[in-house]
């Protein structure tokens, strides 16, 4: 993709944008994931997206296979909403998606799950009587997991170039996929190509119009840097219309992700493939999303400033600081809130893969046993915000007596 095209809106292809936020999100050592988000608003249609350079895109593609997938596959929790899993919260989200689309399909439908990951939704559909099930995922490790389930036609491929023939599916599912795509327009073109006439396209995306509701952590929906598009219903309709899809139905929900503290504002939408295309002419409603984003950014900027003050006290005291939970929230605190200037004594995470693989600032990630030798007067910052109650219980069991800081 040329630099000229990279700078254009993914929906309407106009290159007039306003940058709403530039924020350093931090990184694990040697990570290929881009460290700084640049949230932009299209002046023509109001679409919100993260502008990336060619180098950042290449790094993101490498990140998926080398960091993202192994971390998720290596996770040990049984409740978190992880790609293609059958965990408790993932199954709850599958139910909401299925309940929307079930009224329009029957068990003879030929279904393609694009971005099937480890195959959890295909299992979900099979248990409900659907038999003709196929899947595509760009990450080979995920595709292998899905293949191992035994009864599906799984291929490695991307949504922008689906490795199946023309007009062979009745339903294409892209659940929590299009927000990851550099070219969602091309993905819609491919969905239309593989769908039979009148076939259905079912989408699930984070609902950007509700990012500011159910606060979990500062800028959380931007800290998920894999999400480079930020959709509301109006912009999905705009994108779908120009590719020959019409709206059939939609639903909104609030679904737990890693825990009941982390709530995904979810939007499920069903479109039908038609012969009519509608130009991407933005209505007034399309510009409401920018207003909501500006409000979201202002609120969380104030929260960031509050955290900087608390961390400033830790820096001034130079007391030993431990952190439990080395993920998005920690990396943001480390870079944008000043945590890296503290007297870091230990970085703790329960994920064995992280312990074996990653470091931050040259410091390895370790298990909680290190707290058995914690210095008197130390402090512990809970970075695993979704699991703060579980972390506090374990700290009590360990007998940790230092200061506990929970953001």
- Distance, in Å, from the CA atom of 38 to the CA atom of 326, rounded to the nearest integer, reads 23
Task: Enter the DSSP assignment of 374.
Answer: P
Mean pLDDT of 251-279: 90
How much is the pLDDT for 76?
Answer: 64
- pLDDT tens, 205-254? 999 999 999 899 999 999 999 999 999 999 999 999 999 999 999 999 99
Confidence check: pLDDT of 391 > 60: yes
Mean pLDDT of 37-52: 96
Best CA proximity match to 365, nearest among 323, 394, 407: 323
How much is the pLDDT for 3?
Answer: 43
Confidence check: pLDDT of 364 > 70: yes
Confidence check: pLDDT of 276 > 70: yes
Residue with tokens 């389930």: 149
How much is the pLDDT for 4?
Answer: 47
Confidence check: pLDDT of 315 > 90: yes
How much is the pLDDT for 77?
Answer: 64
Best CA proximity match to 97, nearest among 111, 80, 118, 79: 111
Residue 102 parent element (H or E)? none
Q: What is the mean pLDDT of the chain?
A: 93
Residues 82 and 141 sit within 8 Å (Cβ to Cβ): no
How much is the pLDDT for 80?
Answer: 67
Which region among 27-36, 88-97, 137-146, 235-244 has the lowest average model confidence (pLDDT)?
A: 88-97
CATH topology of domain 3-293: Rossmann fold (3.40.50)
Domain boundaries, given as residue ranges, for the chain: 3-293, 317-406
Q: Helix and strand tally (H, E) in the chain?
A: 13, 17
How much is the pLDDT for 256?
Answer: 87
Mean pLDDT of 27-39: 96
Best CA proximity match to 293, nearest among 11, 48, 24: 48
Task: State the CB neighbour count (10 A cutoff) for residue 313.
Answer: 12
Please work out, in degrees rounded to the nearest 5, the angle formed at the alpha carbon of residue 39 by the alpha carbons of 34 and 44.
Answer: 135
DSSP 243-266: TTEEEEEEEEEEEESSSTTSEEEE
How much is the pLDDT for 259?
Answer: 79
Residues 37 and 31 sit within 8 Å (Cβ to Cβ): no
How much is the pLDDT for 214?
Answer: 85
Confidence check: pLDDT of 7 > 90: no
Residue 277 parent element (H or E)? none
- Distance, in Å, from the CA atom of 86 to the CA atom of 66, rounded to the nearest integer, reads 22
pLDDT band with cut points at 50, 70 and 90 for residue 271: very high
- Matching CATH topology for 3-293 and 317-406? yes
Q: Which residues are paired to 39 by β-bridges?
A: 21, 50
- pLDDT tens, 140-187? 999 999 999 878 999 999 999 999 999 999 999 999 999 999 999 999
Question: What's the predicted TM-score (pTM) here?
Answer: 0.92
Strands 48-50 and 36-42 turn out to be antiparallel
How much is the pLDDT for 2?
Answer: 44
Backbone torsion region of residue 252, taken as left when φ is above 0, otherwise alpha when ψ lies between -120 and 50, otherwise beta: beta
Confidence check: pLDDT of 79 > 70: no
Instruction: Please name the residues in contact with 86: beta carbons below 8 A apart, sequence gap of 6 or more.
Output: 120, 123, 124
Task: State the CB neighbour count (10 A cutoff) for residue 361.
Answer: 10
CATH architecture of 317-406: 3-Layer(aba) Sandwich (3.40)
pLDDT > 90 fraction of the chain, expressed in percent and rounded: 83
How much is the pLDDT for 1?
Answer: 45
Confidence check: pLDDT of 75 > 70: no
């Amino acid at each position: 993709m040329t630099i000229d095209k990279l700078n254009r809106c993914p929906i309407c292809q106009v290159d007039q944008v306003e940058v709403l936020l530039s924020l350093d999100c931090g990184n694990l050592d040697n990570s290929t994931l881009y460290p700084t988000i640049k949230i932009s608003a299209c002046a023509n249609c109001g679409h919100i997206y993260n502008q990336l350079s060619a180098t950042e895109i290449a790094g993101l593609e490498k990140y998926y296979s080398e960091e993202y997938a192994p971390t998720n596959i290596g996770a040990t929790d049984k409740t978190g909403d992880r790609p293609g899993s059958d965990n408790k919260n993932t199954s709850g989200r599958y139910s909401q998606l299925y309940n929307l689309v079930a009224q329009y399909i029957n068990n003879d439908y030929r279904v393609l799950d694009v971005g099937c990951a480890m195959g959890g939704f295909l299992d979900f559909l099979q248990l409900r009587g659907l038999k003709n099930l196929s899947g595509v995922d760009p990450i080979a490790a995920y595709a292998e997991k899905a293949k191992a389930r035994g009864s599906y036609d799984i291929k490695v491929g991307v949504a922008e170039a689906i490795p199946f023939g023309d007009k062979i599916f009745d339903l294409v599912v892209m659940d929590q996929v299009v927000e990851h795509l550099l070219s969602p327009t091309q993905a819609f073109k491919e969905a239309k190509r593989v769908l039979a006439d009148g076939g259905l396209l079912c989408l699930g995306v984070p609902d950007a119009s509700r990012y500011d509701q159910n606060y979990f952590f500062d800028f959380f929906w931007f800290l998920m840097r894999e999400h480079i598009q930020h959709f509301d219903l109006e912009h999905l309709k705009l994108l779908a219309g120009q590719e020959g899809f019409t709206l059939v139905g939609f639903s909104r929900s609030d679904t737990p992700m890693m825990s009941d503290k982390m709530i995904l504002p979810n939007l499920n939408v069903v479109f039908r493939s038609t012969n009519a295309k509608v130009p991407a002419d933005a209505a007034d409603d399309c510009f409401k999303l920018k207003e909501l984003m500006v409000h979201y950014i202002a609120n969380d900027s104030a929260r960031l400033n509050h955290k900087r003050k608390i961390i400033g006290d830790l820096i001034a005291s130079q007391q030993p600081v431990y952190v439990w939970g080395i993920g998005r929230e920690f990396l943001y605190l480390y870079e944008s809130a000043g945590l890296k200037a503290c007297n870091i004594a230990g970085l703790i995470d329960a994920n064995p893969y992280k312990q074996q693989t990653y470091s931050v600032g040259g410091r390895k990630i370790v298990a909680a046993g290190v707290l058995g030798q914690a210095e008197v007067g130390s402090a512990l910052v809970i970075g695993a915000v979704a699991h703060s109650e579980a972390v506090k219980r374990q700290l009590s069991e360990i007998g940790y007596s230092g200061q506990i800081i929970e953001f």
